[in-house]
Amino acid sequence: MNYLPINYIEPVFRPPSEAKSLILQVTNGCSYNKCTFCDMYTAEQKKFKPKKIEEIEQEVSAVAKSMPNVGRFFLADGDAMTLSFRRLKEILECINRYFPDKERVTAYCLPRNIKKKTVEE
């Protein structure tokens, strides 16, 4: 049962360390999805796809209206850092616009994807 104004593609996995975070699904699935130890994103509906920034903005805006005190965000699904710096910046600016007092924003990250980012990014 989804009581949040977010269009989740199930299943959604919550890391234990993110128990108090809002899960913001900015991608569906995992960009790599070949780890031999992981079958989290193998369901047909979990094929990797980035979510459109307009949809993310609508969801963040709706959450801000119903839950204005969210302090922690987890960018899901499997590897949000595969997104371009431009897209990540848009997402972070959106979160900051609606939640200027947030505590933190976190995400899973494959080393190969963080390696593609510059130090400045």
Please state the rounded mean pLDDT for residues 108-117: 88
The domain made up of 20-115 is a member of CATH 3.40.50.300: no
DSSP lists the bridge partners of residue 84 as none
Q: Where are the domains positioned within the chain?
A: 20-115
Q: What is the pTM of this model?
A: 0.91
Q: What are phi and psi of 54, to 5 degrees?
A: -65, -40
pLDDT at 41: 86
Q: How far apart are CA 67 and CA 71, in angstroms?
A: 10
Band the pLDDT of 49: cuts 50, 70, 90: very high
Share of the chain above pLDDT 90, in %: 68
pLDDT at 2: 61
In this predicted structure, which of 8-12, 22-26, 59-63, 100-104 has the lowest mean pLDDT?
8-12
**Angle at 105 (CA atoms; ends 103, 110), nearest 5 degrees:** 150
Name the residue with higher pLDDT: 33 or 74. Answer: 74
